[in-house]
Structure 1
């Protein structure tokens, strides 16, 4: 787009330099804003972005299909595919966010988000290796859970650093915190203090903190990211309870597809929201 400085040129011919500079800088600011908008729009329509988001939309669709398969036709094959899909979504998401972080000039929140997905992916790989080795009873509670819980907390930090704070009614946040702690406290009361009960408490606290952070940092304006976080949180509110009380339930393994779908939406939202760095 060509800059429009016609008004400024008129006044410089008349030797009115004050008006010239006033109009010049007003026009410059207008054109700068317009150029930035065009640049951002071009970024969002770039082939690389379309390829990345298309890949994660495919993962999302696969997660939905697998969820239906697990619910309608429970089979170990579908569960294995679900684990593979989760790992692919996490590791690919981490790599994509690292790429976007580098391209955008190093925004800190993308690095934290990449770290969260990468740590979760590594933790889940270790979890699945234990399953393949016949150590199903050893995966909960374990150090694997500490890695997953840490990844949830790191994702909270990413949201806190990357999105502006937006005041939410304190009673809503307090209500979410109380709800997120009520169940694990009930578990502690009914089963007594144990490693499994304490890890369950940590899961619920981390998930509640993630939701509170998201609501408190404008994620209601980014529905894909918020939806992805909610799917992820639902999965890990159910996971420790399944491991403690419902390990043989044939339906609950569907939560793995929630994780893959959640990661896909989070990555799509973060990548679409990013803006490449510009150089002078």
Structure 2
């Protein structure tokens, strides 16, 4: 017998929520472990978790695209997580095959920046627009640029300084777009976005000025936790797009 679809009836959403809840818990545990006892083993686990979470997130968004309305925003989200996962995988693959490591900045960094900008585009299409006071957005924009501009002023124009500026611009765009599109009404997505942006503002600073600092390896766990929270927020939004009167007689993709 067919019945009306409700979010509670979607077992896949339930499983995905549980899965990313586990990812979030593991990321929190790794962050604590890396902060207390910096270890190569913990760092490796953090790196693997980032890649797994990114590709799993892309798969979750692809499911939302086919199951709950084929909005272009979900494809932007798929692309953002997939590009990030591919870029990070390429970095580790180059090390494993003996091709050496990518020094900062590199094409890998361009992949990360592209992923952040695509995620910003996803927010623009998935979350409803919300009027935010211009002074708040201006303050966020100023805070996003003050650090890279100060680095440019003190150290001159270098590849590292320009990449830092690009990372901060991309992260600022992500936060401002989120605030402009009701992200504050979705606490998990907001927390994940801020955590993710914080990690990618600190990452280029670490690579330029604090390379080798063992405690800053915690940023990888921040990325995985941010990804998990963003996906959990997206899952709650995606299931709200169920058309009334839809029946379960068709098989979900």
Q: Counterpart in 2 of 1:259?
A: 223
Deviation at 1:279, TM superposition (A): 5.1
Deviation at 1:63, TM superposition (A): 0.2
Deviation at 1:248, TM superposition (A): 1.5
- Return the alpha-carbon distance in structure 2 between the equivalents of residues 279 and 69 of structure 1: 47
User: Which of 134, 137, 150 in structure 2 is aligned with 1:186?
Assistant: 150
Q: 1:83 to 1:266 in 2, by over 3 A?
A: same
SS in 2 for 1:237: helix
Structure 2: state its 5+ residue gaps: 248-253
- Return the alpha-carbon distance in structure 1 between the equivalents of residues 12 and 59 of structure 2: 14
- TM-score, normalised by the number of residues in structure 1: 0.82
- TM-score, normalised by the number of residues in structure 2: 0.91
- Return the alpha-carbon distance in structure 1 between the equivalents of residues 113 and 130 of structure 2: 25
Greater CA radius of gyration, 1 or 2?
1
CA displacement, residues 108-135 of structure 1 (integer Å, 9 cap, x when unaligned): 1111111100111111111222344373
Deviation at 1:273, TM superposition (A): 1.4
Q: Counterpart in 1 of 2:100?
A: 135
Deviation at 1:45, TM superposition (A): 4.9
- Return the alpha-carbon distance in structure 2 between the equivalents of residues 83 and 203 of structure 1: 20
Matches within 5 A, 1:236-255: 236-255=200-219
- Return the alpha-carbon distance in structure 1 between the equivalents of residues 208 and 99 of structure 2: 18
Matched, 1:208 2:167: no
Q: Structure 1 runs of 4+ off > 6 angstroms? A: none
- Return the alpha-carbon distance in structure 2 between the equivalents of residues 76 and 45 of structure 1: 42
Q: Counterpart in 1 of 2:60?
A: 96
Task: For CA contacts below 8 A with separation 6 or more, give which structure has more relative contact order.
Answer: 2
Q: Counterpart in 2 of 1:28?
A: none
Q: Counterpart in 1 of 2:32?
A: 68
Matches within 5 A, 1:163-174: 163-174=127-138
Deviation at 1:276, TM superposition (A): 3.5
Q: Aligned Cα RMSD in Å?
A: 1.7
- Return the alpha-carbon distance in structure 2 between the equivalents of residues 182 and 135 of structure 1: 34
- Return the alpha-carbon distance in structure 2 between the equivalents of residues 95 and 200 of structure 1: 30
How many residues in Structure 1 have an aligned counterpart in Structure 2?
Answer: 241
Q: Counterpart in 2 of 1:148?
A: 112
Deviation at 1:46, TM superposition (A): 2.8
- Return the alpha-carbon distance in structure 1 between the equivalents of residues 128 and 235 of structure 2: 17
Asked whether the 8 Å contact 1:89–1:260 carries over to 2, the reply is: yes
